[in-house]
């Protein structure tokens, strides 16, 4: 069975993916029938996802199955507003992280009042002498 899926490339901790057509039994990075696009998760621009939609549709018409991730990438790449939305979300995430760091620094810088608790006093109860009969 032929599948359209991602094949990983790039350096360690710097992933780069090719969108490829290959037999589902082949290794993830093995020999592919055709490269129809690319996906670079490090980019925040419109060049992040490149897919040849005509070739994708051709292979689907021949019976190839699309992986879940490639379906999402196809849907995402067809809507140019997604890049703007993603940039807004990233900006909000960075702002929240900045606020969290500031509040943490302020909490550490504030003088810490230590309350000294009095040590609990243990009362000793002496047993009454037992009379022997």
pLDDT bin (cut points 50, 70, 90) of residue 106 is confident
* pTM exceeds 0.75 for this model: no
Q: Is the pLDDT of residue 19 over 90?
A: yes
pLDDT bin (cut points 50, 70, 90) of residue 119 is low
CATH of domain 2-79: 3.30.1320.10
Beta-bridge partners for 65: 3
The DSSP 8-state label assigned to residue 44 in this structure reads -
pLDDT of residue 105: 83
Segment 27-55 mean pLDDT: 87
Lowest mean pLDDT among 29-43, 75-89, 95-109: 75-89
pLDDT of residue 121: 66
* Domain range summary for the chain, segments of one domain joined by +: 2-79
If we measure between CA atoms, which residue out of 120, 40, 96 comes closest to residue 73? 40
The DSSP 8-state label assigned to residue 132 in this structure reads P
Q: Name the average pLDDT for the chain.
A: 83
Listed in sequence order, the residues at least 6 apart from 25 whose beta carbon sits closer than 8 Å to its beta carbon are: none
């Amino acid at each position: 069975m032929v599948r359209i899926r991602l094949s990983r490339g790039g350096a360690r901790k710097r992933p780069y993916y090719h969108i490829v057509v290959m037999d589902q039994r082949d290794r993830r990075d093995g020999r592919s029938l055709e490269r129809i696009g690319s996906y670079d998760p490090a980019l925040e621009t419109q060049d992040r996802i490149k897919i040849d939609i005509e070739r994708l549709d051709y292979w689907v018409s021949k019976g190839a199955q699309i992986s879940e991730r490639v379906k999402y990438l196809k849907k995402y790449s067809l809507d140019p507003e997604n890049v703007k939305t993603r940039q807004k979300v990233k900006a909000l995430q960075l702002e929240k992280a900045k606020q969290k760091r500031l509040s943490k620094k302020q909490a550490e810088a504030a003088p810490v009042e230590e309350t000294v608790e009095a040590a609990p006093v243990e009362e000793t109860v002496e047993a009454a002498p037992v009379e022997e009969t």
